[in-house]
Copies of this chain bind each other. A is one copy, B any other.
Amino acid sequence: MPREAFFNLKTEKRERIVDAGIDEFAEYGYQPASISRIVERADIAKGSFYHYFEDKKDLFKYILQLLGDMKLKILGPVLMEAGSRDFFDTVRDMYLNSIRWVLQEPKLMRISQSVMLDRELRNEVLEDNQQKAINYYLSLINIGVARGDLRQDLDRELTAHILLVLQFAMVDIYYEKHGQEIEETAFMSLAEKILNTIAIGIRNNQPSRRELLWTEKL
């Protein structure tokens, strides 16, 4: 947590420092990010940084927290309406909201990604953010099962992990195919395909000959 001195700063300055941190972390990732560059970007003295924060990790955690709050603000409403819609419609809507947010705040997204994709960093720095994301999915899954959209016998925790992993993989797969520039409809079409895959699975449930004969009887 930032020190008291940081919260006593005027909003403008506080935001300038946070922005500098966001720029630096988005450009270099966590490990190679440099406090010297951050203070230069923010136009504050080196000593001031250490009045406001314990160290680099302290600032980073704080930024992650801001980021988590933003995301929850965006995805909270989706969760509220989950009871009245098909599970997969809800998840699709969640993706849509996320991607629109990413398009507005690409830097924050890069930071969030860099954390989620690095287990070391995640363990060291993330603490409860990962669990928050899992819990969000768990809520959705519980509702989905209750609605009868999802199988009763799911390992819900595991399913939450799988959905979270796929959510992040989606961005990777998109980049690989379309390059770094995200376009909403193309992205959602990929999301649709991935959702469909996890929904009905990949195994061939080709009806047996006996089943086919029954169908023909209609």
Neighbouring B residues of A201 by C-beta, 8 Å: 197-202
Q: Which of A41-49, A98-106, A150-158 contacts B (4 or more CB under 8 A)?
A: A150-158
Q: Please judge, given known A-B contacts A169-B161, A169-B162, whether A199 and B198 are in contact too, CB under 8 Å.
A: no
Q: Which of A5-13, A58-66, A74-82, A117-125 contacts B (4 or more CB under 8 A)?
A: A117-125
Q: Please judge, given known A-B contacts A161-B169, A198-B198, whether A203 and B151 are in contact too, CB under 8 Å.
A: yes
1/0 contact trace for A165-181 toward B, CB 8 Å?
11001001101100000
Q: Is the CB of B194 within 8 A of A158?
A: yes
> Which residue of B117, B154, B202, B206 is within 8 Å of A198 (Cβ)?
B202
Interface size, A (range) = 35 or more
Per DSSP, are chain A's interface residues mostly helix, strand or loop, or mixed?
Answer: helix
1/0 contact trace for A104-130 toward B, CB 8 Å?
000000000110011110000000000
Closest CB of chain B to A199's CB: distance in Å?
A: 4
Q: Is the CB of A202 within 8 A of B113?
A: no
Neighbouring B residues of A119 by C-beta, 8 Å: 113, 117, 172, 175
Give the distance in Å from the alpha carbon of A34 to the alpha carbon of B53 in the complex. Answer: 27
